[in-house]
Amino acid sequence: SQQGEEDPQALSIQEGENATMNCSYKTSINNLQWYRQNSGRGLVHLILIRSNEREKHSGRLRVTLDTSKKSSSLLITASRAADTASYFCATEGVMNRDDKIIFGKGTRLHILP
Amino acid sequence: EAGVVQSPRYKIIEKKQPVAFWCNPISGHNTLYWYLQNLGQGPELLIRYENEEAVDDSQLPKDRFSAERLKGVDSTLKIQPAELGDSAVYLCASSLAGSSYEQYFGPGTRLTVT
C-alpha cells in the first residue's frame, strides 16, 4: 500500500520557531494532502499538492513533494500556540477510480509558550 | 455554508447492541467518506461513495457493518452487533468530486462500547 508515514511522531518546539514534519509513502500517487486535527475535533484540510508539483505555499505553510524519494515535508514558520495539533498526510494512489486515500499516523506538534 | 454534520456526537452502548451514525455532507459534494479513527492513529477509510454508489468498501467489515447513501446525499453507517473493539471515533467527510479534491470532515461520533 502507499500508506504515508509521518516523521517525527511527536515534536515540541518553542513558540516562534519553525516546525518541520515529513511524510514518506511507498507507491505512486496522484496527490498528497496535509490535514490538521486539534484535540477532539475533526480534521481540517491544509494543502493539496499534486504529483507534478514540487512546492506549494499557503500563509505560514510550505509543502514540498519529492516523488523520486516518495516523500513530502510540511513546514510551519513562526509557530503559534494555536498550531498545537496533530498533522496527517494523506496520499491518493493511482489505481483508476478505486484510488485509495490513505492517512498516516500523524505527527503530534506541541508549541511551547 | 454549513459544514459536514454528524450525529450523534457521542454514543455509549453495550456490546452486542446495534448503533447507527448519520452524516449530512456539504451541499453539492458528490463524494462521501466514512472513516474510523482510533486514539493516536490516523483515520482509516471504511467506505467511499460517489453519489449513491459505494466505490470502495474494501475495508468495511461487512459481517457487522453496513452503510447506505440514499439519493446520493445523507448517509448512515450501522454496526450490528457492536463489539468492544468498535470503540473509536467515526468520521464522515465529503469532497466535491472524487479523492483529488480536499475533504471536509465532520466533528465525528465518539462510540464507546461497554
Judge whether A43 is closer than 8 Å to chain B, CB to CB. Answer: yes
Pairing state between β A10-14 and A107-112 = parallel
A15 pLDDT band, cuts 50/70/90, is: very high
Is residue B26 within 8 A of residue B94, CB to CB? The reply is: yes
A73 pLDDT band, cuts 50/70/90, is: very high
With a cut of 90, say whether residue B70 has pLDDT above it. Answer: no
pLDDT at residue A1, as a whole number: 44
In sequence order, the 6+-apart residues with CB closer than 8 A to the CB of B26 are: B1, B2, B3, B4, B94, B104
DSSP-assigned letters across all residues of A58-100: ETTEEEEEETTTTEEEEEE-S--GGG-EEEEEEEEE-SGGGPP
446525499: which residue's cell? B73
Nearest CA in chain A to B4: A42
How far, in whole angstroms, is CA A31 from its chain's centroid?
12
In sequence order, the 6+-apart residues with CB closer than 8 A to the CB of A52 are: none
List, for residues B24-54, the tens digit of each pLDDT value.
999 999 999 999 999 989 999 999 999 999 9
With a cut of 80, say whether residue A3 has pLDDT above it. Answer: no
Q: For residues A57-75, give the mean pLDDT.
A: 97
B:58-77 residues touching chain A, CB 8 A cutoff: none
Judge whether B39 is closer than 8 Å to chain A, CB to CB. Answer: no
Q: For residues A56-84, give the mean pLDDT.
A: 97
What residues in B contact A43, CB-CB < 8 Å? Answer: 43, 91, 93, 103, 105
Is residue B89 within 8 A of residue B77, CB to CB? The reply is: no
**A25-39, A88-102, B5-19: range with highest mean pLDDT:** B5-19
Nearest CA in chain A to B92: A42
Q: For residues A43-65, give the mean pLDDT.
A: 96
Question: Among residues B37, B55, B52, B15, which one has the least CA distance to residue A103?
Answer: B37
Task: Give the phi and the psi of residue A37 in degrees, each rounded to 5.
Answer: -135, 115
Nearest CA in chain A to B91: A42
pLDDT at residue A65, as a whole number: 97
Is residue A60 within 8 A of residue A75, CB to CB? The reply is: no
pLDDT at residue B97, as a whole number: 82
Distance between CA atoms of residues B13 and B17, nearest Å: 7
Distance between CA atoms of residues B77 and A60, nearest Å: 37
Judge whether A41 is closer than 8 Å to chain B, CB to CB. Answer: yes
pLDDT at residue A95, as a whole number: 62
List, for residues B81-93, the tens digit of each pLDDT value.
999 999 999 999 9
